[in-house]
Amino acid sequence: MKIYVFILFLMTLSFNIVAQTNPEQKKEETEEKPKKTPQEYFDDGIVKFKNGNFIGSANDFDMAIKEKNDWGEAYLKRARSRRYAGNYESAIEDYTIALRINPNAKQAYAGRAQAYLKTRNYNLAIKDYDLAILHLPNAPYLNSLYFNRGLAYQKSLKPKEALQDYTQVLQNDPEHAKALTNRGIIKYQQKQIRQACQDWIKAKKIGNEKAKKNVNKACQCCI
């Protein structure tokens, strides 16, 4: 019995010594990490977006917005991240908020138009493409705005407007294969077979597979 009590005493003593040997480590374990500032979350979101981590990027912008809920640029960047992640409805909401906070954030029209196009809201997409083209005449992606508006017109069964946009794209970039292919489709539907094939043959030479299939199927007259 005495031996048992002595062993128990030694075990208790050892436990107390271990518990008290490293108080700093215990303190470090209980201390919380310093909280990030909204700017730090914003900067992290930019880096993650550049690295292709769109969901992580959106989460960082979300944290920045929670700390600073009137930050229009953060809404704009979160909208972009959400759009790239395929979360189009939430992206539309963020673009709308960004414009409400800062009506001069005209690039939001371009981003929201893309999201509308992805969700097949073609009429709303066209309205935003109109505004983006109007307010961003020097944007490096202006040709993409014309092409995508043309696509929205084409999907809305408005071939005349679509042809105008695709032609505008080709004036700026004569070797835009997708514009050639889509313009060819509209011309073919309008029974302008030779003109359609001219577009498809050119797109085929550039390397467009869809144009190649169309040439093989419908352009024996013009090869």
**64: which 2 tokens?**
């920045």
pLDDT of residue 104: 96
Per-residue pLDDT tens for 49-66? 999 999 999 999 999 999
Core vs surface per residue 164-184: b (16+ CB within 10 A) or e: ebbebbbeeeeebbbbbbbbb
Q: For position 223, what pLDDT does the model report?
A: 62
Q: Which CATH fold would you assign to the domain 106-173?
A: 1.25.40
**Mean pLDDT computed over every residue of the chain:** 89
What is the average pLDDT across 206-218? 94
pLDDT beyond 50 at 36: yes
Give the residue range(s) of CATH 1.25.40.10 domains in the chain: 36-103, 106-173
For the segment(s) 36-103, the CATH number from 1.10.3720.10, 1.25.40.10, 1.20.1250.20, 3.40.50.150 is: 1.25.40.10
Residue-wise pLDDT for 84-104, tens only, equals 999 999 999 999 999 999 999
As a whole number of angstroms, the distance between CA 121 and CA 33 comes to 45
pTM value is: 0.83
Please give the pLDDT value at position 98: 98
